[in-house]
Structure 1
Amino acid sequence: MSSPPIHIGQVLRGRLGNYAIAMKIQETVWFAKSHNDSQVIVKSVTGHLGIENEQDVLKRFRSRAPYRPLIDEIEDPAQPTTIVLKHLDDQLLDASVKKTLNRKEIKYVSRRVLEALSILHKDGYVHTDVKLDNIFINYEEDDGNDDVRFSDVELGDFETLMDLPWNTATNIWSFGTSDFNIFRPKTARPKDEDYRLEMLKSQFRYFGPWPGKIREILDEVTIMSLLKFLGLIPPSTMSPFRYVTEREVVKEDKEFIPKIMQMDWRDRPAAKQLLEDKWFLA
C-alpha cells in the first residue's frame, strides 16, 4: 500500500531528525523546517527512480565536491523514497536574471561547476542536466565588495548515468552554454517553453555548422534530426564566433569559449583539463 502524497503541515521523520513541510515549490519538491528550525529542501516522487538515484549518487560522492549535499533520508513514511537536501538561497538562473554575472562571478561559478563535473567524470558518471537552474548559490553577506555576489556554488539535481548514452563531453557543452551570457536568446525568456530551443539556435549560429566528420559517430536518424534543426536557422543569421569583437567578448574569453563549444564532442577538453586552463588566471 503506497503512502498518501506529501502535504503542507506534515511531519516527516528521518534518520537524523524531523521535518515539517512548509510549502510546495515544484511537483516533487518542498520547503521544510527541521527540528532545529533551519530551512531544508525535501524531494520525493512516487514510481520514479530519480530520487533513489540522486540519493545513491550524493551518498557516493559525499564531501568530495561542491554538490548540494544530502542532509537526511526519510524513514517515516518509508515510501516513496524521500530525501532532505541543503537549502541554498537561489538558483543561478534567477540570480543571473536579476543581475547579469560579471567576469569574476563567471569564473567563480565555472571553477565550482567544473570541480563537481571532474570528480563525477573520474568515477565514470555523467550529470544528465547541467543548466543554470540546477546550479544553486548562497549570496555573500553585504560587505561592500560587489565583485562576487556568491559565497557558495553547488551543483544539484543529481540524476546521473554511467557514461552512455550521454557522455562527459555532453556535460562540457552544457557547462559552456550555462555559464556564459552571450548565448541568452533575445526572443525568449528563461521560463518560456521555447527558451531552450532558442538558446540552442543561438549556440549554433556562433559555432555551427557541424563538421563533416560528425557522420563518423552519428546514425542516419540523428543526422536527419540535425538537418531538420538546420532548417530552422536561416543562413543569413549565422554569426561565426571568430568574428565576435573584443568589445563584445574580451580576448581571454574569446580564446577559452571555443575550446568548450566544439560541435564534435570528441574535440572537447575534459573538465580536469579546463580547470588547468590559463583562463582562470587571466
Structure 2
Amino acid sequence: TITKHLQDCIWLASSSQAKPHTNPLRCSTGNTVIIKSVHHFRLHNERDILTRFQDRTAFPRPLLDEIIEPNDAPAIVLKYLQDHLLNGSSSRKLTKPEIKYVAKRVLQALDVLHRDGFVHTDIKPDNILVNYSSGGDETIRFTDIQLADCGNTVPATSGHAKDGDLIGAPIWRSPEAQLRISWGTPTDIWSFGAMLITLIYGEDFFIFKPDVPADHEEYEMKILARQCQFFGPFPVSYQEIAPVATLHVLMQVMRSLGGKQRPFARISEAEVSKEDKEFIIKIMKLDPRERPSAQELLDDEWFQST
C-alpha cells in the first residue's frame, strides 16, 4: 500500500498484505518499505548492483523485491531507513565513536564494490542512510548504516569512467572527476574523505563549498581552488594523467590563489585532532593514484583508537 510520495519516482509504502510478486520472507506484513518506479536504466542498474553485492556485505541498502507489471513502469522494493546522515549530523554533531562507526561501514561497503572494480560515484552524507537506536544511553545513536543510491554505480573499466563523465555533486566530487579526466575507485575515496571532514566538523560545514551560488559560472573552478588550497598544490605527476588543456586549467586555478594556501595539515588540534588530521591527509591526495584503498583505510590505526 502506497502511503506517501517522497520525491520523483520514489514512494513510501507498507507491505500490509502479501502480493503474488512479493517474497513473504523479505517483505513481511506491516513493514515500511521504499518503492522506486521509473522507466530508466538507473533503476535496472541499481537492481543489478544490489543483487550482485548485497549478500556479500550488510552495508548497501538492500533490495527486498522487484515488482513487474505488464502495463506499469518496473519497480524495486528497498529497505526503509529513518533518515540520512546529512540530517543526522546537522541535528547533532557526531561523537568520535559515531564517526568511526559510520566510516567503517561505508568503507566496508566500498571495499566490496571496489574489489570487483565498481565505482559508486556519489558518496555523500545524504546517500548514507541511518536508523536510530530507541534508547537514550547508547554510546552510538545509530543501529544501521547503509549506503544508498547505487543507480549510478559503474565499472571502473566503463566508458563513463574512461571518458571522465561528470559524476556526483560538485562539493563531494574528486579533482579528477571535476576536471573530466579518467576516474576510478579512488574517486569514491576522495568523496568519502570530504564527507568525513564534514562529519568531524559538524554544523553543516562543507570544506570545499565556494563563496558563490551553485549556478555561478565559476562554481566548479572555485571548488578546485579550495581543493588545491587545503590539499595542494597539484603535483607534477598530473602531467601523466591529464591532457595539456587540463594542465592549463590547473595552472590557472593555482595562480588564482595568489599564494593564499590553507594547508589542512596546519589546522590546529583545537579544530581537528592530530589523529583525525593524519587520517584525512592520507585520504585527500590530489593525485588519485596516491590515495589508499578502502581496505587499506580499514586496516589503518585510526580505527584502533577510540
* Pair 1:30 & 2:1 matched: no
Distance in 1 (CA, whole Å) between partners of 2:95 and 2:253 is 32
* Pair 1:184 & 2:176 matched: no
Candidates 55, 59, 74, aligned match of 1:63: 55
* Pair 1:263 & 2:280 matched: no
* Pair 1:204 & 2:198 matched: no
Match of 2:272 in 1: 249
Q: TM-score by structure 1 length?
A: 0.83
Going from structure 1 to structure 2, the CA distance change for 1:123 and 1:185 (only over 3 Å counts) comes to closer
**What's the CA shift for 1:237?**
4.4
Corresponding residue SS for 1:253: helix
Distance in 2 (CA, whole Å) between partners of 1:122 and 1:79 is 36
Going from structure 1 to structure 2, the CA distance change for 1:241 and 1:153 (only over 3 Å counts) comes to same
The superposition leaves residues 103-123 of structure 1 with CA deviations (integer Å, 9 ceiling, x where unpaired) of 111111110000000011111
Match of 2:299 in 1: 276
The superposition leaves residues 9-52 of structure 1 with CA deviations (integer Å, 9 ceiling, x where unpaired) of xxxxxxxxxxx222222212111111222211111222x20010
**What's the CA shift for 1:219?**
1.6
Candidates 42, 47, 53, aligned match of 2:45: 53
Distance in 2 (CA, whole Å) between partners of 1:268 and 1:78 is 47
Distance in 2 (CA, whole Å) between partners of 1:194 and 1:87 is 33
Corresponding residue SS for 2:68: strand
* Pair 1:222 & 2:246 matched: yes
Which ranges in structure 2 are unaligned for 5 or more consecutive residues? Answer: 17-28, 162-182
* Contact persistence 1:125–1:162 (CA under 8 A): yes
Superposition map of 1:161-180 within 5 A: 161-164=154-157, 165=161, 166-180=183-197
Distance in 2 (CA, whole Å) between partners of 1:187 and 1:172 is 18
Distance in 2 (CA, whole Å) between partners of 1:109 and 1:27 is 28
Which ranges in structure 1 are unaligned for 5 or more consecutive residues? Answer: 1-19
* Pair 1:154 & 2:178 matched: no
Going from structure 1 to structure 2, the CA distance change for 1:33 and 1:225 (only over 3 Å counts) comes to farther
Superposition map of 1:66-85 within 5 A: 66-77=59-70, 79-85=72-78
Match of 1:123 in 2: 116
Distance in 1 (CA, whole Å) between partners of 2:209 and 2:116 is 39
Going from structure 1 to structure 2, the CA distance change for 1:220 and 1:70 (only over 3 Å counts) comes to same
**What's the CA shift for 1:126?**
0.9
**RMSD value, Cα:** 2.5
The superposition leaves residues 119-146 of structure 1 with CA deviations (integer Å, 9 ceiling, x where unpaired) of 111111111111111110111112413x
* Contact persistence 1:109–1:179 (CA under 8 A): no
Match of 2:166 in 1: none
Match of 1:5 in 2: none
Instruction: Give the count of matched residue pairs.
Output: 258
Aligned residues with identical type, % of pairs: 43
